[in-house]
Structure 1
């Protein structure tokens, strides 16, 4: 009589993918009797035709580099300066300083500026628009800002408007999004 191990070796190998038991029934019974492993069986996976993997690895996909090193169209500072001047002049030419009115005007003016600058269709730029309005009373004001940016692609535009009652400062920051 042949042992179970010999029978396993003599059996024809399967031709399709699947899995085979790595522990023969004889070995399993012996280990179960020793108390080491109970109801445990490991499997080994195999592949029918290993040549298919070689063909798939040789196929090449053509890749296109879509990374851009900078903007194709730079921020138009002069054009944005004209937008700032026009909007501030149109909204504030005849206005007198009133705190509540100026508070609403800063929001409105910044939204109008942002919409007009977006209409210039500069791709991949993030826009930040800040408008300050204050009372003209012989005092001075100093506004500073700090940013971390790339001077090759990022830029800003600024305009100051004054009339007899108030002053307004509008800044537009354009930061290129990579």
Structure 2
């Protein structure tokens, strides 16, 4: 009895599947099936990767538990921050004349100094935003506004305005409590 090519292909495919399941080659499978001794075998592959730098970093990070603390244990010290603002701004700008390039650098420097001094107060769980504006006094008016989305029970701000003969400065510190 002759088998069609399609039937031969299906039979060969099923034998190949069996050979791959038992992890024996086709020749070994045929030989063991003929002698009536088919053994169940299992192949395992194992390897070990070298630890990458990313794995070391993930092991070193500490995950903190939630405290479920919804409010600050003590409020942000607005009066102390007002004194810091006044001291820093007046010490940097007391004798300065308005020059655009100098004032651009001074805003960055003053805001970094204010932020560092407020962080030295070690007030936990508050995010600090420091904004400093410096402009020329030349018989003009200016209106500076800001909007923030926050909780009025725990979030607050501190502000100080400075003027000398040629410039004005406005320094703001926003303290937003992180729950």
Structure 1 gaps, min length 5:
1-38, 40-63
Cα distance in 1 for residues equivalent to 2:148 and 2:90: 28
**Cα distance, 1:70 vs. partner?**
0.2
Q: Give TM-score scaled by structure 1 length.
A: 0.63
Q: Aligned pair count?
A: 118
How far did residue 65 of structure 1 move? Answer: 7.8
Bigger strand fraction = 1
User: Which residue of the partner structure matches residue 69 of structure 2?
Assistant: 68
Q: Deviation per CA, 1:57-91, whole angstroms, max 9, x where unpaired?
A: xxxxxxx9821020012111111000000000000
Match of 2:175 in 1: 174
SS state at 2:141 partner: coil
- 1:124 and 2:125 matched: yes
Of Structure 1 and Structure 2, the greater helix share is in 2
- Give the alignment of 1:80-99 within 5 angstroms: 80-99=81-100
Match of 1:79 in 2: 80
What is the SS of the residue equivalent to 1:147?
Answer: coil
Counterparts of 2:83 and 2:95, CA distance in 1: 19
Secondary structure of the structure 2 residue equivalent to 1:148? coil
Specify every segment of 5 or more residues in structure 2 that has no aligned partner in the other structure, as ranges. 1-17, 19-64
Aligned-residue CA RMSD in angstroms?
1.6
Query: How far apart are the structure 2 equivalents of 1:66 and 1:167?
Result: 43
Distance change >3 Å, CA 113–CA 65, structure 1 → 2: closer
User: SS in structure 2 opposite 1:74?
Assistant: coil
Displaced runs of 4 or more, over 2 A: none
